[in-house]
């Protein structure tokens, strides 16, 4: 087994644990590279099947190519797709001009919380990674959220020997993080090896590409000439910029991300 | 060909403020791992707090951690040297966050145990040492930090090394090296320090690169715990991860604890590139089998010749992190591999203060942060291994209410208590950990303990054969003992009569005693009428198939009557009825009353010699 085999086997193990333990389980699919890798891992874990729905929290501010790609993949892979839009908030005029963090909370955190409530999810699979940002580097693989989707990071349960938190109070839910242990380069090497389809936005056009995808008003492409995966890997090996530096919500005051995530953000 | 990427997981543990976060921060900084943004942030934060540059902020990401200047939760960060990738795990040093320290350390292959040179060995230095030994982390380096505060003194270094070794050797931890550093000033972190010319070995980073990665589990016995069984389409796929060994299409496999046997039909896959006819340790796979009987999560697939132990009682060394104490007479959930069963603490044999190694007087409960030796009884039979033999199936966690509250490793169980479900009315037992195992005895005595169960109707000649077998084996220098069921009726079974129920109880006692004899390494000969097959199956179950050899002395009715004129056939009219076994047994035919018992005994001897 090589490095990617080991990462893959561990992720599959986690996905199967989630499927075994949670009656109501869903996978968050942001359309980005990480969650598309997860879709792939799920197909491997369940031998070509996807035994749970995929959830896309749509802020209506997403980059249009993302929505196009989403709908194409959903059809091709016969995915059971739930698209959640927080219409109430939008009708009341919610948007990035109200303040980035306020908007993120209303359209993403709230949106996510509503899906959990409406469908009664016990388990929610998310594609976050430890190397993305500080509060994620401290996450557990199975991470409990209370009835309000809040995270008590000051008192996380022990997690050892792949024995995860599977007992919890009714009304709470568990965030499952199957690719927590991967890093950004692992993701790209795996996409290359497995030939996983991706939205074009990641590849450079006119000297720019997206390194991380989000809402159009708050996501900036980076300067890049990387037009293929090999170029991207080479670029990443030599950069000192952080992956999410193009994501506005990460650049706000210190601990902004921790606060967002405490309230239930991905 | 591209070079294979390799990743090593290293945990940094030790008493609070001994410099764990600083060392990791320093390594990340010096290996150019940090993004510009991250460094800027820490500079800003440090300035706000009036400090020069606090490396610890790079890891203590939570606001609470930075405000209070402590590490609350474990962090995993990645960095790379020229040679390979590392995951470095920061573990909190406060006693109250021990559960987070354990969560971090359980993922590591290597540990750096930090000790402050000026403060010396403290409570958590020792407790963390103990936890490392329970987690089975053998590659341990002690890092003596803040050497700048003791003027880089070799003497101080030697002193700490001597003191700490005394403690750690008791835990079977043998540090590979003691590395003197100053994390804050970067002495001996990346490059060798010129401040300590007396230290002849590698710096921290050089040491890391010199560690060889263990890849042993592939060559161990197969352990494939069933994680789930899928029926999404026409295939019925048994899914799981191979914890050790390897599995091939066509392998004959045993499923524990149900003891069913079947063959691997196929190894399933989705992506064409994953197609294959074998799988090895670490892989998450799915197989189909030839006989589709019911199997479920928790059962362990192995090869027939190397099966796990099955049982409902075992000894373990545990650490406790629960908010409420671990006590007897309370139901807990035990998670071992993919098995989840109800269990209780059968006995608490010793409670230890992990920071002093002292045995606590009160062994009625195990408190938070203590370690203990306990005996655990599960409600159902489970499959397991001794931790020292196979790790992944030799360790477990205990769930109290909704929380994982303890973890432990199985130190074993007396072989006389294995492979069957045990029940008892007494609540005050404690199966002790023994220092001599059955294997040890076998090696010493040059023989394997077993029971030769000779059955047959009264008068068939079994006693005559048995005494000959005993004598012959004895003369060969074997350790042998003949347990005559008739004699037992004068002592141990003097309360029993010859009713069917009592006959059954007599078989149980005989089998239990014989099983202990065999366990002591003795070749044990038993004679017993045991004409009902149910009774013999029971004996075989108690003694264990591996150790049990059944011999049926079959004599004609005429021979029996002639040889036993008084006719002790009190139990029923069907006195000459013998119910044959459903599995193959050796049968000795006796067709004349004056048969040659010597010859029959020889036959038995040649039979057990082969075994
Ligand atoms: N003088 C000196 N101080 C150090 C050294 N390493 C760490 N420190 C300081 O010791 C304190 C505790 O360090 P920290 O890394 O937070 O310890 P932790 O609790 O083990 O993670 C901090 O104020 C560090 O600046 C060292 O090598 N020399």
Residue A93 Cα, gap to closest chain B Cα (Å):
32
- Measured CA to CA in angstroms, residue B446 lies from A216, B134, B295, B416, B466 at distances of 78, 34, 39, 19, 22
Residue B278 Cα, gap to closest chain A Cα (Å):
13
| Tens-digit pLDDT profile for residues B498-510 | 777 888 888 889 9
Lowest-pLDDT range of A169-173, B319-323, B439-443: B439-443
**Contact criterion met (CB below 8 Å) for A96 and A103:** yes
Per-residue confidence at A52, pLDDT binned at 50, 70, 90? very high
Per-residue confidence at B546, pLDDT binned at 50, 70, 90? confident
Mean pLDDT, residues B196-213 taken together: 93
Nearest to A61 by CA among A214, A233, A206, A207: A214
Backbone angles phi, psi at B169, to 5 degrees: -60, -35
Max mean pLDDT range (A6-10, A78-82, B53-57): A6-10
**Contact criterion met (CB below 8 Å) for A245 and B37:** yes
Q: What is the pLDDT of residue B430?
A: 66
- Measured CA to CA in angstroms, residue B258 lies from B222, B254, B280, B310 at distances of 17, 9, 24, 9
Backbone angles phi, psi at A147, to 5 degrees: -60, -25
Q: Do B36 and A137 touch (CB under 8 A)?
A: no
B339 close to A (CB below 8 A): no
Q: Do A158 and B85 touch (CB under 8 A)?
A: no
Q: What is the pLDDT of residue B361?
A: 83
pLDDT above 50 for B572: no
pLDDT above 60 for B571: no
pLDDT above 90 for B73: no
CA-nearest residue for atom 1, ligand 1, is: B146
Per-residue confidence at B428, pLDDT binned at 50, 70, 90? low
A131 close to B (CB below 8 A): yes
Collapsed DSSP state (helix, strand, coil) of residue B324: coil
- Strand order across the A142-145 sheet: A81-84, A54-57, A25-28, A123-125, A173-176, A142-145
Residue A234 Cα, gap to closest chain B Cα (Å):
14
**Contact criterion met (CB below 8 Å) for A56 and A82:** yes
Question: Which protein residues touch ligand 1 with a CB less than 6 Å away?
Answer: B 14, 16-22, 56, 71, 93, 145-146, 148-149, 182-184
pLDDT above 50 for A34: yes
For residues A214 and A225, give the distance between their C-alpha atoms in angstroms, rounded to a whole number.
21
Q: What is the pLDDT of residue B421?
A: 72
**Domain at A3-183, CATH from 3.30.950.10, 3.20.20.105, 3.30.499.10, 3.40.50.620:** 3.40.50.620
Chain B residues within 8 A of A181 when measuring between CB atoms: 76, 87
Q: What is the pLDDT of residue B466?
A: 92
pLDDT above 60 for B400: yes
| Tens-digit pLDDT profile for residues A78-114 | 889 999 888 888 888 888 888 888 888 888 888 888 9
Q: How many CA atoms lie within 13 A of B462 on its CB side?
A: 28
Residue A85 Cα, gap to closest chain B Cα (Å):
31
Question: How many degrees, rounded to 5, is the angle at CA A245 between CA A244 and CA A248?
Answer: 90
**What's the helix, strand, coil split of chain A in %, to 5?**
45, 15, 40
Mean pLDDT, residues B324-347 taken together: 95
Mean pLDDT, residues B160-165 taken together: 94
Nearest to B300 by CA among B291, B311, B314: B311
For residues A15 and A9, give the distance between their C-alpha atoms in angstroms, rounded to a whole number.
10
What is the distance in angstroms between the CA of the first residue and the CA of the last residue of chain A? 31
- The widest CA-to-CA distance across chain A, in whole angstroms, is 53
Q: Do B282 and A130 touch (CB under 8 A)?
A: no
Mutate to test the interface with A, among B239, B323, B407 (most CBs of A within 10 A): B239
| Tens-digit pLDDT profile for residues A195-249 | 999 999 999 999 999 898 888 888 888 899 999 999 999 998 888 777 777 676 6
A5 close to B (CB below 8 A): yes
Q: Do A258 and B404 touch (CB under 8 A)?
A: no
Of residues B310 and B574, more confidently modeled: B310
In the annotation, is B530 catalytic?
yes
Q: Do A47 and B230 touch (CB under 8 A)?
A: yes
- Strand order across the B177-180 sheet: B75-80, B85-90, B7-14, B110-116, B139-145, B177-180
**Contact criterion met (CB below 8 Å) for A7 and A190:** yes
Please tell me which of the candidates A5, A13, A43 has its beta carbon nearest to residue B241.
A13
DSSP code for B253 = E
Q: Which of residues 87-106 of A touch B (CB under 8 A)?
A: none
Atom of ligand 1 nearest to the CA of B16: 19
Domains and CATH numbers, chain B: 7-210 (3.40.50.300), 217-303 (2.40.30.10), 309-417 (2.40.30.10), 440-610 (3.40.50.300)
**Contact criterion met (CB below 8 Å) for B91 and B21:** no
Mean pLDDT, residues A138-167 taken together: 91
Q: Which residues pair with A56 in a beta bridge?
A: A83
As a whole number, the mean pLDDT across chain B is 87
**Contact criterion met (CB below 8 Å) for B601 and B465:** yes
Residue B533 Cα, gap to closest chain A Cα (Å):
42
Q: Which residues pair with B373 in a beta bridge?
A: B317, B350
Q: Which residues have a Cβ under 8 Å from the Cβ of B272 and sit 6 or more positions away? A: none
| Tens-digit pLDDT profile for residues A118-129 | 999 999 999 999
Mutate to test the interface with A, among B31, B34, B78 (most CBs of A within 10 A): B78
E runs forming strands in B147-293: 177-180, 224-225, 228-230, 237-241, 246-248, 252-256, 260-267, 278-280, 284-289
For residues B576 and B557, give the distance between their C-alpha atoms in angstroms, rounded to a whole number.
7
Task: Count CB neighbours of A113 within 10 A.
Answer: 23
B67 close to A (CB below 8 A): no
Q: What is the pLDDT of residue B394?
A: 94
Mean pLDDT, residues B485-505 taken together: 82
Per-residue confidence at B429, pLDDT binned at 50, 70, 90? low
pTM of the model: 0.82
Mean pLDDT, residues A7-32 taken together: 95
Backbone angles phi, psi at B187, to 5 degrees: -80, 125
| 3-state DSSP of A185-209 | HHHHHHHHHHCCCCCHHHCCECCEE
**Contact criterion met (CB below 8 Å) for A36 and A198:** yes
How remote is the CA of residue B11 from the centroid of ligand 1, in Å?
17
Q: What is the pLDDT of residue A251?
A: 61
How remote is the CA of residue B124 from the centroid of ligand 1, in Å?
16
Per-residue confidence at B216, pLDDT binned at 50, 70, 90? low
Of residues B125 and B47, more confidently modeled: B125
pLDDT above 90 for A182: yes
Task: Count CB neighbours of B154 within 10 A.
Answer: 14
Atom of ligand 1 nearest to the CA of B149: 1
Helix (H) or strand (E) holding A6: helix A3-21
DSSP A134-194: TTGGG--SEEEE-TT----GGGPPP-BTTB------BTBEEEE-TTTT--HHHHHHHHHHH
Q: Which of B117, B184, B186 to mutate to test the pocket of ligand 1 (most atoms within 8 A of CB)?
A: B184
pLDDT above 60 for B574: no
**Contact criterion met (CB below 8 Å) for B122 and B47:** no
Of B256, B355, B415, B530, which one is the catalytic site residue? B530
Q: Which of residues 168-207 of A touch B (CB under 8 A)?
A: 168-169, 181, 183, 194
What is the distance in angstroms between the CA of the first residue and the CA of the last residue of chain B? 51
Mutate to test the interface with B, among A160, A230, A248 (most CBs of B within 10 A): A160
For residues B127 and B121, give the distance between their C-alpha atoms in angstroms, rounded to a whole number.
11
For residues A169 and A167, give the distance between their C-alpha atoms in angstroms, rounded to a whole number.
7
Please tell me which of the candidates A51, A240, A254 has its beta carbon nearest to residue B35.
A240
DSSP code for B510 = H
| Tens-digit pLDDT profile for residues B18-40 | 999 889 988 988 888 777 777 78
B323 close to A (CB below 8 A): no
Lowest-pLDDT range of B220-234, B317-331, B427-441: B427-441
């Amino acid at each position: 087994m090589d490095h990617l085999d080991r990462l893959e086997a561990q992720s599959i193990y986690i996905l199967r644990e989630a499927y075994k333990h949670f009656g109501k389980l869903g996978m968050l699919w942001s359309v980005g590279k990480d969650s598309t890798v997860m879709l792939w891992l799920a197909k491997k874990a369940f031998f070509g099947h996807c035994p749970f729905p995929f959830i896309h929290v749509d802020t209506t501010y997403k980059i249009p190519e993302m929505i196009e790609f989403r709908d194409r993949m959903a059809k091709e892979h016969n995915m059971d797709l739930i698209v959640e839009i927080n219409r109430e908030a939008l009708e009341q005029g919610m948007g990035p001009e109200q303040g980035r963090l306020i908007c993120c909370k209303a359209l993403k955190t709230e949106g996510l919380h509503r899906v959990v409530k409406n469908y009664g999810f016990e388990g929610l699979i998310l594609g976050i990674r430890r190397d993305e940002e500080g509060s994620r580097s401290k996450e557990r693989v199975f991470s409990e959220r209370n009835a309000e989707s809040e995270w008590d990071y000051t008192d996380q349960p022990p997690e050892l020997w792949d024995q995860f938190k599977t007992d919890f109070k009714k009304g709470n839910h568990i965030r499952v993080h199957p690719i927590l242990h991967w890093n950004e380069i692992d993701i790209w090497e795996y996409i290359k090896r497995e030939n996983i389809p991706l939205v074009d936005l990641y590849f450079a056009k006119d000297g720019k590409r997206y390194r991380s995808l989000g809402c159009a008003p708050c996501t900036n492409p980076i300067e890049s000439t990387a037009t293929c995966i090999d170029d991207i890997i080479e670029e990443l090996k030599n950069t000192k910029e952080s992956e999410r530096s193009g994501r506005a919500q990460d650049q706000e005051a210190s601990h902004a991300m921790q606060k967002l995530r405490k309230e239930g953000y991905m | 060909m591209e070079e294979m990427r390799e990743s090593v997981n290293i945990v940094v543990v030790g008493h609070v403020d001994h410099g764990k976060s600083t060392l990791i921060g320093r390594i990340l900084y010096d290996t150019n791992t940090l993004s510009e943004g991250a460094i800027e942030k820490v500079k800003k934060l440090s300035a706000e707090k009036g400090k020069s540059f606090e490396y610890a902020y790079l890891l203590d990401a939570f606001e609470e951690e930075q405000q209070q200047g402590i590490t609350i939760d474990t962090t995993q960060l990645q960095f790379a040297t020229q040679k390979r990738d590392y995951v470095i795990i920061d573990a909190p040093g406060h006693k109250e966050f021990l559960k987070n320290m354990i969560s971090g350390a359980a993922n590591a292959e290597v540990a750096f145990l930090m000790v402050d040179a000026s403060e010396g060995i403290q409570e958590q230095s020792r407790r963390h040492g103990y936890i490392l030994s329970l987690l089975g982390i053998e590659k341990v380096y002690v890092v003596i930090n803040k050497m700048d505060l003791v003027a880089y003194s070799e003497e101080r270094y030697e002193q700490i090394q001597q003191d700490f070794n005394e403690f750690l050797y008791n835990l079977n931890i043998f540090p590979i090296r003691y590395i003197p550093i100053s994390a804050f000033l970067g002495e001996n972190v990346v490059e060798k320090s010129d401040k300590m010319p007396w230290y002849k070995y590698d710096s921290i980073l050089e040491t890391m690169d010199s560690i060889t990665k263990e890849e042993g589990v592939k060559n161990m016995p197969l352990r494939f715990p069933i994680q789930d069984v899928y029926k999404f389409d026409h295939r019925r796929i048994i899914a799981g991860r191979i914890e050790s060994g390897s599995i091939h299409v066509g392998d004959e496999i045993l499923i524990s604890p149900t003891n069913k046997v079947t063959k691997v039909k196929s190894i399933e896959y989705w992506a064409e590139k994953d197609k294959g006819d074998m799988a090895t340790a670490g892989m998450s796979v799915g197989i189909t089998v030839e006989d589709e009987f019911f199997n479920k999560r928790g059962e362990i697939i192995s090869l027939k010749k190397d099966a796990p132990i099955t049982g409902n009682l075992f000894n373990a060394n545990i650490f406790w992190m629960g908010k409420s104490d671990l006590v007897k007479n309370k139901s807990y959930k035990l998670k071992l591999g993919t098995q989840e069963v109800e269990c209780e603490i059968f006995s608490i044999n010793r409670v230890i203060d992990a920071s002093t190694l002292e045995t606590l007087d009160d062994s009625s409960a195990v408190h938070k942060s203590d370690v203990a030796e306990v005996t655990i009884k599960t409600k159902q039979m489970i499959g397991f291994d001794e931790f020292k033999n196979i790790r992944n199936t030799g360790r477990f966690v205990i769930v109290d209410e909704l929380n994982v509250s303890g973890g432990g490793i199985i130190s074993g169980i007396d072989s006389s208590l294995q492979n069957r479900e045990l029940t008892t009315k007494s609540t005050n037992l404690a199966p002790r950990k023994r220092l001599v195992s059955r294997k040890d005895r076998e090696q010493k005595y040059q023989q394997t303990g077993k029971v030769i169960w000779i059955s047959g109707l009264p008068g068939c000649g079994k006693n005559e054969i048995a005494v000959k077998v005993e004598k012959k084996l004895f003369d060969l220098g074997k350790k042998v003992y003949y347990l005559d069921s008739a004699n037992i009726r004068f002592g141990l079974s003097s309360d029993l009569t010859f009713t069917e129920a009592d006959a059954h109880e007599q078989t149980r006692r005989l089998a239990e005693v014989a099983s202990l004899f065999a366990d002591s390494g003795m070749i044990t000969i038993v004679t017993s009428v045991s004409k009902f097959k149910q009774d013999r199956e029971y004996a075989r179950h108690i003694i264990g198939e591996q150790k049990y050899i059944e011999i049926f002395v079959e004599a004609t009715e005429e021979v029996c009557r002639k040889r036993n004129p008084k006719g002790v056939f009190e139990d029923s009219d069907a006195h000459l009825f013998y119910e044959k076994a459903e599995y193959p047994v050796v049968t000795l035919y006796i067709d004349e009353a004056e048969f040659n018992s010597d010859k029959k005994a020889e036959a038995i001897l040649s039979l057990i010699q082969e075994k």
